Amino acid sequence: MPNPDSQIPYWDAAATTKTFTHPLHPPWLDGLDRHAAILDYGCGYGRVMSDLAQYGFENLTGVDTSPEMISRARREHPTLRFTTPDELPRSPASFDAALLFAVLTCIPADEAQHRLITGLHRLLRPGGTLYISDLLLQPDERNRRRYDRDADAHGTYGVFSTSDGAICRHHSRERLSTLLADFDITESRTITVPTMNGHAATGIQILASKPSVT
């Protein structure tokens, strides 16, 4: 199973061509102080970071593994802070909130997903917020064909290769709940969102929190 870094060339090439569309849900931001330290992991070209800044958040860090995505983000949003995972703080409890928007779909392997969620758990302060937006398993025939076609090759139902060379993953609700076992899930909502290749898809947004120290 490939690790996320193996797809960096794909995302570098996509940096100037793809449009990302998962929306922020403003009511879920109401509980965050505008000075809260927020990490947008897998920030791409900075679209969500820009939205957060427009909502008045001041302490934002965008991170992406793709150098070309980071370069585009810095060009388009020069007043915001963008960096690579290697430059994230090493100390735990550095952030009040973290966002993962359409990131898990780009990390197909169970182990790599678990490492990411574990790392974000470490970086969040007790009581910190994790806001996930991603894609569920789709019921339509086109997607079911892709899941069936690639299940053996990738070892997981829901992992598939796109026509332009990405390896993506759609998730069951149970998989996401298992992945977030160390968090308290406080809210979830189902949305319809265009994929990066322009197909309507059913997505899920999850608001979770790192348990407070007792």
pLDDT of residue 2: 38
Quick one: how far is CA 117 from the chain centroid? 10
- Phi and psi at 134, nearest 5°, equal -155, -170
DSSP string, 6-31: GGHHHHHHHTTT----PPP-GGGGTT
Per-residue three-class SS string for 143-198: HHHHHHHHHHHHCCCCEEECCCCCEEECECHHHHHHHCCCCEEEEEEEEEEECCCC
5 has a pLDDT exceeding 70: no
pTM for this entry: 0.94
User: Using 50, 70 and 90 to split pLDDT, how confident is the model at 137?
Assistant: very high
Distances, alpha carbon 146 to alpha carbons 106, 150, 164, in Å: 16, 6, 14
Q: Which helix (H) or strand (E) holds 110?
A: helix 110-123
- Beta-strand runs (E) in 103-157: 124-135
How many angstroms separate the first and last alpha carbons of the chain? 39
Q: Which two tokens stand for residue 183?
A: 């968090």
Tell me the per-residue pLDDT of 139-173, one tens digit each, with 9 for 90 and over: 999 999 999 999 999 999 999 999 899 999 999 99
Per-residue three-class SS string for 44-93: CCCHHHHHHHHCCCCEEEEECCCHHHHHHHHHHCCCCCEECHHHCCCCCC
- Phi and psi at 32, nearest 5°, equal -95, 130
pLDDT of residue 3: 46
Q: Which domains does the chain have, with CATH numbers?
A: 4-209 (3.40.50.150)
Q: Which helix (H) or strand (E) holds 120?
A: helix 110-123
Strand pairing of 167-169 and 184-194? unpaired
Tell me the per-residue pLDDT of 26-52, one tens digit each, with 9 for 90 and over: 999 999 999 999 999 999 999 999 999
Q: Which helix (H) or strand (E) holds 118?
A: helix 110-123
Task: Name the DSSP letter for residue 210.
Answer: P
Burial of 130 (0-12, 13-18, 19+ CB in 10 A): buried
Tell me the per-residue pLDDT of 98-125, one tens digit each, with 9 for 90 and over: 999 999 999 999 999 999 999 999 999 9
